[in-house]
Amino acid sequence: MKLAAPELKVEPALTLNARIGGAADSAARKSAESSEVLCFARVFSGSIESDYTWTRKRLPFKLPARFWRAHVPGPWLFKLRWNPTTDSFAQTLAKLRAPGGCVRDDDAT
């Protein structure tokens, strides 16, 4: 009869901090400040189906129409209905759900 291995429980932040010197705490703090969700996981190369390169000038694929403001010049980042630098996830979601051309806070005069 084979005995089951004991269950191993690990606290991700403590384990990561021990290996990378406090960077996990810094990442968790920045994640909380921006209302983002931080996930600790290991990604194996065999599970990656494709790589996407995002640049200021080029998107790797077309985004839905609700992501864009109409008739805004400049790179695609300036055309988004939300401000990726300052808007939290909740603010972004509200702007995406708003009807019509949502105005970004940085457009206010």
pLDDT at position 29 over 50: yes
Helices (DSSP H) in the chain: which residue ranges? 12-20, 23-33, 76-79, 89-97
At 22 the pLDDT is 73
Residue type at 91 in one-letter notation: Q
Q: What is the pLDDT of residues 43-96, one digit of tens each?
A: 777 777 888 888 888 898 898 888 998 888 888 988 999 998 888 888 999 988
- Could you tell me what percentage of the chain is helix, strand and coil, using 3-state DSSP and rounding each to the nearest 5? 40, 0, 60
Tokens representing 22 are: 């406090």
Coil vs helix vs strand at 92: helix
Per-residue confidence (pLDDT) for residue 1, from 0 to 100: 62
Overall pTM surpassing 0.75 (yes/no): no
